[in-house]
Amino acid sequence: MAKTKLVQTCYLIGNQNPYEQSCGWARPEYHLISWAFSALQLRSLYGEVELYGNSAAISLLVEDLELPYAQVHDTHDSFGLPHPNLWALPKIWTYSLQNEPFLHVDGDVFLFEKFSNTLHGAGLVAQNPEVATEYYTSTQKMLTSHFSYFPPSVKDDFAKDVPIMAVNAGILGGTNTAFLNAYAASAMEYVDRNIPSLSRINVDRFNVFFEQHLYYCMARESGLDITYLFPEPFYDRGYMYLGNFHEAPVKRTYLHLLGHFKKDEVTCRQMASKFRSLYPEYYYKIMSLCNRKVPQHFMSRFYGRRTEKELKALPELAKTAYLEKPVFARESSVTADVAKSTLPFGLMDIFVKDIIQAGPPPEYFNLQADYEAFRTRTAEWTASSSFSQPYLYGRDLSADDWYDSIFNGGDVLAKKVSKTDECSVIVTEFDWAGLYNSRTRCGVQYYEEWAFRKGTFYNLLIAEVSEGNISLEDLDEIQFAMLQQLGQPVEIRELFQQLESMVDQEILLSHRDAFYNLLHKLLEKLVLLKAVKPLN
């Protein structure tokens, strides 16, 4: 059996500055981290991975980031991208250039275990089958309204009365290069013959059709089986676990930050933390490049004054600062007024103004007063607990291991945990943290369905190194009770037993396991938020 080579494609549009433009990610540095993380994991598992791209992309990944690709193919400068939002088309071009078995792995895919021999030997490969969702059906309607040409297999599929299906192309390829070349040629024709109509559609949505839907249709038309990494069809919510970096590599060996994951700051921070723990040299190289290229980088207040050599020495200094316990000092004193101006209240002020202008119901008469009180108390806490930046950075480095320390290995219920010093909870009548996260998080079902209301709400503040000083999270009543119990180190078993009083005893008798599973999930979140830590 011929060896299946691993390939990746990176294409930068001529005027794109990857240090200033996020390229679909929450921040530019996450785009760089993703590429480095993906390539380095493939290299660590397989020894070799090849890069296809244009000269701008090669300059970034090979010259700037110094990623160790075995072969670099400068093949895409002559490739003409007819529209900047056709991001899948450079990948199609790469597929068309292959004349031997290959697996293409996207730059937002992170592998922690080799693919099976079955997958490597399969004629056609994809990540998973996809069932048509509203995204697919609405896009199909848009395309059929404006396009003049469809490949025969696509046209036949659209004519059927059953919902369409597709594949996810996080990985795509196989040993059947004849089919893969024909598929790539058909995809290019699909795009080329509809270029005059691109101005009348949402071009971004077209990508999944000429790459993922076409692949499925042509394989079915040819009577060819597709071997999937995940054989079960995925619906929209099926992808939610593919961004769980805290579960890798013990519980998850394949992650894919598709779509909304890239724009979600929390998910991106988890990716960066995992990358920093596995590849610190590359992480600090990227931070150094970002701070040199973009002086106003969001971490410039902390990283920006340090050379790359100093950045590499930073972890040990920060860990020492953290072990010495809280240091309430900054380069200059922080008053409540100064803190209030640096917190994430610029966005919050806008969100609250929107609610007021929309005309809240009469029972919300104290909305403005509650918000101002929350704003003031948050600023006062930030001013009074001004941890040194080296201390907070040491905390972050330590926190990279907290989840594994508590939840992976041994008797979890026997572990001892406690509340961290760097957080506080403010109780309010309106859900201010929920409001903030509903407007800033991406792809989280809870926040997509969230509604502003009056009641009793728990706003978690966590001191941070980065600009803005804090992160803001909304807790439920049980998580608030957990933090109240964790002022001193407590065994998790004892903590859960104490929380049993929050549930009707008859219900508890029948559903204790379900309740403990819920407590486990809620505690996991507090650990990931850096509000709860293990007792070392």
pLDDT confidence of residue 299:
57
Q: What does the pLDDT look like over 37-67, one tens digit per residue? A: 999 999 999 999 999 999 999 999 999 999 9
pLDDT confidence of residue 468:
60
C-alpha to C-alpha distance for 287 and 293, rounded to whole angstroms: 10
pLDDT confidence of residue 7:
99
Mean pLDDT by 10 residues, the chain (536 residues): 88 90 93 99 98 98 98 95 96 98 99 98 98 91 97 97 94 98 99 98 97 98 98 77 95 95 94 96 92 68 71 87 67 52 74 90 92 92 85 95 95 97 97 93 90 96 82 96 97 97 91 96 98 93
pLDDT confidence of residue 333:
47
Q: Which of 107, 30, 374, 86 is nearest to 203 (CA)?
A: 86
DSSP string, 53-67: E-HHHHIIIIIIS--
Q: How are beta strands 490-491 and 416-419 bridged, if at all? A: antiparallel
C-alpha to C-alpha distance for 443 and 445, rounded to whole angstroms: 6
Write out the two tokens for 298.
């969001």
Q: Would you kindly state where each structural domain of the chain is located, as residue ranges?
A: 5-263, 299-534
pLDDT confidence of residue 188:
98
Compute CA distances 342 → 27, 69, 171, whole Å: 19, 42, 42
Compute CA distances 242 → 237, 399, 527, whole Å: 10, 21, 19
State the DSSP H helix or E strand holding residue 104, giving kind and residue range, or none if neither: strand 102-105
DSSP string, 129-149: EEE--HHHHHHHHHHHHH-S-
pLDDT confidence of residue 467:
56
CATH class as words, domain 5-263: alpha beta
Collect all residues with Cβ–Cβ distance below 8 Å to 8 and sequence separation of at least 6.
38, 39, 42, 49, 50, 51, 52, 104, 105, 106, 107
Q: What does the pLDDT look like over 328-366, one tens digit per residue? A: 544 444 555 655 555 577 788 889 999 999 898 999 999
- Residue 443 phi/psi, 5° resolution? 75, 15
Residue 51 near residue 76, CB atoms below 8 Å: no
Which residue(s) pair with 53 in the sheet? 10, 74
C-alpha to C-alpha distance for 92 and 6, rounded to whole angstroms: 15
C-alpha to C-alpha distance for 244 and 405, rounded to whole angstroms: 16
Provide Rg for the chain, Cα atoms. 25
C-alpha to C-alpha distance for 343 and 320, rounded to whole angstroms: 27
- Residue 21 phi/psi, 5° resolution? -105, 140
Residue 188 near residue 81, CB atoms below 8 Å: no
